[in-house]
Chains A and B, each alone.
Chain A
Amino acid sequence: MDETVLIQKSQQGDMDAFEQLVLLYEKKVYTIAYKYMGNHEDASDMAQEALIKAYQSIGSFRGEAAFGTWLGRITANKCLDVLRKRQRVQVTSLDDEVELEEGSVKKELASEAATPEEHTVQQETVQYVQDMIGQMREEYRIVLVLRELEGHSYEEIASMLSCSLGTVKSRISRARNYLKEQILADKKMEGSRNSARRKKE
């Protein structure tokens, strides 16, 4: 059935028509949610919340933008709301140093990411990047997703997040450097594993 017809029927409260729309767009919604949230559990929740919100406000959809874009905006907003709230509650910086008896050490989070070697396939590379982004501090992840995934300008991001342009630029820069650091660290680890393997052989 035509998407426009499905939208019209959904606006009249036809749940079956809306289910068809869900089938068409759930992957897109889930993808956005996952990229923002960084894990499947939160992504599932956010994607569901976004679809429910879309159903409740489909009456206000006037077709000025594509339905997918409208749905994507709802999803992004839902995720951003949750992430902003979380930031107010818990702020853990990857840059913070952990004080120990022997002195202070840089905080490191356990990575579930596979080594670069294992990510030769495109999908695996994507997963690798996603894992790194998922471990990132939320305020960096948000700017990175808004910039790289949604393609917003620095000014737009600053306006969306109610912060200065300098803050946005700084966060994006730090997020990118963080990614580079992680990749380098993984490369080094891979190098030492390879040399150890060679020695064994």
Chain B
Amino acid sequence: MPEEKKNNLGQISDEALDALLAQWAEAEITPPAGFHEKTMERLRSLETTEKKQNGKLISLFAGRKKWMSAAAAAVLVLCCIPVVQGQLGGTGDQPVIDTLPGQTTMVEQKAAEEATETEAQQDVSVPNQAVTQAKQQAPQITNTDTSANTNQVQEQPVQQPAAENTASVQNQQPQNMIVEDTDAVANDADASAQPIAAYSMDEEQPVVSGVLQTTKTERGVIATAEQLQEDLTCYEDAIAVLTDNIETLQQKIAEYDAQLQNEPDNIELQKELDALKEELKVHQKEIENLEGLVKEVKEKLQQADTAE
């Protein structure tokens, strides 16, 4: 800085400048007229926009994207069917939860296993007795009653005390015990003494009357081929709809892109474009999920075919 200039600046002391600046710093400046109104207007319009956007989010599945909601609901329902069937232990064709002929309860099978161990006999059918309290109260099986059944092995009459519990029955069962037919128990037992519907998930059931009885596991977890086929069709339909939508979206995006090149400052248009791109991503993700489901169902179908 030139010396002359320095001298000139020296005419104004730092203290004077500080005082001036302090005065400036303390001073408040009144906003121009209409500032408050404009600010509040902006704030209110912003709030309204936010509310609208929130509303849009909430109605994401209820508004424009009804088809999406329907597809999602359908997929959910279809996915739930096999699970529900698994819980009930039956297919759509076999909704009955009761014991089927030739089938036994888990408890009964346990009892049978224990009995089998005790007896070490290979040629007896699975017992269906002395398991639940109701079973304990079942009428006494006589030699005469059981002998009527053709498919039982009878060597000695068995007299079990009605009040005895399962364990004691099991323990006290003699070697060469008589095991009666399921029908015999069913006929004789009290109505309230029906076995509790607790199915074994482990044991293969025999073929009854020439009809293939799937296992409880198969009936519960693997849906029938028919059901699976329905699922598959539904998923494929949903994929088709989504693919159409994606095409439409891609067209729109291309249009908006072109429009944006002409109007680069159009914020609204940019926002719309972003929203469309987001929607596109959602659809693509949905398709990925559905394709996964299709693959899964196809595998199950293959399994079902193999089983048959």
A30-B30, A47-B31, A129-B21 in contact; A22/B11 too (CB < 8 A)? no
CA distance A144 to B21 in the complex (A): 9
A26-B39, A148-B21 in contact; A31/B29 too (CB < 8 A)? yes
30 residue pairs of the A-B complex, CB under 8 angstroms, read A18-B43, A22-B43, A23-B36, A26-B36, A27-B30, A27-B31, A30-B30, A35-B29, A40-B32, A43-B29, A44-B35, A47-B35, A47-B39, A48-B35, A48-B39, A48-B42, A51-B43, A52-B39, A52-B43, A55-B46, A122-B27, A126-B23, A126-B24, A129-B23, A130-B24, A148-B22, A176-B14, A177-B1, A181-B9, A183-B17
Among B8, B11, B12, residue most surrounded by chain A Cβ atoms (within 10 Å): B12
Task: Find out whether the CB atom of B31 lies under 8 angstroms from the CB atom of A30.
Answer: yes
Main secondary structure of the interface of B (DSSP, over half): helix
CB of A84 within 8 Å of the partner chain: no
* Interface mask (B10-48 → A, CB under 8 Å = 1, otherwise 0): 011010010011111101111110011011101110110
* Interface mask (A94-111 → B, CB under 8 Å = 1, otherwise 0): 000000000000000000
CB of A3 within 8 Å of the partner chain: no
CB of A117 within 8 Å of the partner chain: no
Query: Which residues 39-64 in A have Cβ within 8 Å of B in the complex?
Result: 40, 43-44, 47-48, 51-52, 55
Residues in A with CB closer than 8 Å to B46 are 52, 55
A182 CB to nearest B CB, Å: 10
Residues in A with CB closer than 8 Å to B1 are 177
Task: Find out whether the CB atom of B29 lies under 8 angstroms from the CB atom of A176.
Answer: no
CB of A77 within 8 Å of the partner chain: no
User: Which of chain A's residues has its CB closest to B12's CB?
Assistant: A180
* Interface mask (B65-90 → A, CB under 8 Å = 1, otherwise 0): 00000000000000000000000000
Residues in B with CB closer than 8 Å to A177 are 1, 9
Residues in A with CB closer than 8 Å to B30 are 27, 30
A26-B31, A27-B30, A47-B35 in contact; A15/B43 too (CB < 8 A)? yes
Total chain B interface residues with beta-carbon distance under 8 A: 30
* Interface mask (A6-38 → B, CB under 8 Å = 1, otherwise 0): 000000000100110011001110110011000
B93 CB to nearest A CB, Å: 56
CA distance A31 to B22 in the complex (A): 14
Residues in B with CB closer than 8 Å to A27 are 28-31
Residues in B with CB closer than 8 Å to A181 are 5, 8-9
Residues in A with CB closer than 8 Å to B38 are 44, 48
Task: Find out whether the CB atom of B42 lies under 8 angstroms from the CB atom of A52.
Answer: yes
CB of A135 within 8 Å of the partner chain: no
Task: Find out whether the CB atom of A34 lies under 8 angstroms from the CB atom of B35.
Answer: no
Query: Which residues 151-169 in B have Cβ within 8 Å of A in the complex?
Result: none
CB of A125 within 8 Å of the partner chain: yes
A48-B42, A177-B9, A180-B12 in contact; A133/B24 too (CB < 8 A)? yes
Residues in B with CB closer than 8 Å to A183 are 12, 17
